[in-house]
Structure 1
Amino acid sequence: MFPLYDTIPSLKRPVVNYIIIFTNILVFLYELTLFWDEELLNAFFYNFGFVPEKMFYSFPILALFTHMFIHGGWAHIIGNLWFLKIFGDNVEDAMGHFKFFLFYITGGIFALFFHIIFNPFSPYPLVGASGAISAVMGAYLVLFYYSRIVSLVFFILPFLVEIPAVIYLFLWFIMQILNGMYADITGTGVAYWAHAGGFIYGVLVGFRVRKKRYWY
């Protein structure tokens, strides 16, 4: 069930969303120059990704921000930026450019700390925009619950289906929780709790934005 686009066009040019996407691409292009040297690439991830266990001896303040612009491979960055493209423009419409930027950054940081709650001693760097993008998706659920997500579904043959955004995003959130619990048992390389934390943050901020938009 892969999302292709939503049914609500953006009213303004999503400048900040484009800048975030472009910045992620630029950083990934730099990463590609390091792929020939595994030691250099690992050092890049370790220095600019967020390593939870570092907090106990030297809090990596810079990594609070840099971790959300680093990706571990082609599938990682393409998947993340595709979701940001679909959901980010409308949320930027609702919040305005500057507030959307602040929301995106704080959402990524909230998602990071939610991940740390479940992985406080992890020696592995957390990288990726998915925590911040999950916050965008949570806000989208609250602000545009009436939207529909046109998705590609594979069942014998691929076909398109319009899924109500409230159903699509709620099921996505539940899957992050279930996958997070499964990962706690088996261990995976995906930060599902960061996804869940970001989504919760987005829902909370989304309700606040909706209240200001429609009650005043």
Structure 2
Amino acid sequence: MFVPLHDTNELKYIRVQYVTITLIVLNVAAWLFTTFASVEQAERASLGLGFIPALIFDHAVLDPSLVLVPEDMTFLTYAFLHIDFWHLAPNMLFLWVFGDNVEDALGHFRFLIFYLLCAAAGAALHGFVTPESEGPLIGASGAISGVVAAYFLLHPRVRVWVLVLFRIPLPLPAFIPLALWIAQQFVMLALNMDDAVSWGAHVGGIIAGALLVLVMRRPGVPLFDRRIVTPRAVHHKPSVPQVPAHVE
């Protein structure tokens, strides 16, 4: 529906979004490993680190040779794997644009916990919706959905440059594209339109993000910040007063 490009919502409490940057690096590193690994290694990573509901709900058993981490850890490890570049890139772009300000509002450590809890919530709802699925869930979308929900509650009036329909760049108040995006996730989950996308993971992350930001944000950080911050690309220079010419 839309792709976020950038905002100019300045950091207020931290100098650098260390956790956001680290999460992006880890996701890219994991993608590079699975991309350049053999097909067998990539499949083993997906099965051993991906979240498989049928294993959690005892509908299936994974071959011991494929087990890489305890089953409970896959609630988190799945969020660092991606199928291909086009699966990775949108997630990392959303995280880059919106993650820094959520990290700023929560603090580094609490943001990391927030991110992981949103990932776990996404896996949990995905498992609840499809308890017998033997396909591995992978991707950071559940965690990213939580970040989007938190940003929506924190900075709805910040103007964000977005690429609408992948073609038209527009500066919009954040609440417009984010509200539409959030609504789309719930509608798609209700309609079960696309089995290739886990709408349940998205919705689980959204619900977790919206609830967690209420209790995890720094003391004094408001919800629904009323300040309007405009992207630099649409800042207007102050007009120069016109001085009447003197004719001699």
Question: Which of these residues, 74, 86, 99, is aligned with residue 63 of structure 1?
Answer: 74
Name the SS for the 2:134 alignment partner: coil
- Which residue is equivalent to 2:169? 160
Distance 2:221 2:137 in 1: 37
Q: Does 1:207 align with 2:214?
A: yes
1:27 corresponding residue in structure 2:
30
Deviation at 1:79, TM superposition (A): 0.8
By how many angstroms is 1:165 displaced? 1.2
Look up the match of 1:192: 199
Which of 112, 126, 134 is the equivalent residue of 1:123? 134
Q: How far off is 1:210 after superposition?
A: 5.4
User: Which blocks of at least 5 consecutive residues in structure 1 are unaligned?
Assistant: none
Q: Structure 2 vs 1, CA of residues 53 and 74 (structure 1 numbering), >3 Å: closer, same or farther?
A: same
Note the alpha carbon deviations across 1:30-82, whole angstroms, 9 max, x for none: 10122x42x33222201110100001336712212211100011101111101
8 Å contact kept, 2:17–2:103: yes
Answer yes or no: is 1:181 the counterpart of 2:190. yes
Distance 2:175 2:10 in 1: 17
Distance across 2 between alignment mates of 1:187 and 1:169: 21
- Give, in angstroms, the shift of residue 187 of structure 1: 4.5
Of the structure 1 ranges 21-30 and 162-171, higher mean CA displacement relative to structure 2 is found in 162-171
Return the alpha-carbon distance in structure 1 between the equivalents of residues 98 and 19 of structure 2: 13
| Aligned-partner residue type, residue 188 of structure 1 | D
TM-score scaled by structure 2? Answer: 0.78
| Aligned AA (1:75) | W
Does 1:137 pair with 2:128? no
Give the Cα separation in 1 of the matches to 2:17 and 2:30: 20
- Superposed displacement of residue 149, structure 1: 1.7
- Percent identical residues: 33
User: Which structure shows the higher helix fraction?
Assistant: 1
- In structure 2, C-alpha distance between the alignment counterparts of 1:72 and 1:154, rounded to whole Å: 23
SS class of match (1:117) = helix
Contact in 1 for aligned 2:55/2:71 (Cα 8 Å):
yes
SS in 2 for 1:139: helix
1:2 equivalent to 2:13? Answer no
**Structure 1 position 7, deviation (Å):** 3.3
Matched letter for residue 54 of structure 1 = L
Structure ID, larger Rg: 2
**Residues 20 and 96, structure 2, Cα contact 8 Å, conserved in 1:** yes
Q: Is the 8 A contact 1:7 1:150 kept in 2?
A: no
- CA-atom RMSD in angstroms: 2.0
Tell me the equivalent position of 1:17.
20
Deviation of 1:208 after TM superposition, in Å, equals: 2.6
The 2-side partners of 1:74 and 1:196 are apart by: 23
Mapped to 1, the partners of 2:30 and 2:165 lie a distance apart of 33
**SS of alignment partner, residue 160 of structure 1:** strand
Structure 1 runs, 4 residues or longer, greater than 4 Å off: none
Question: How far is the alpha carbon of 1:24 from its aligned partner?
Answer: 0.6
Q: State the partner residue of 1:102.
A: 113
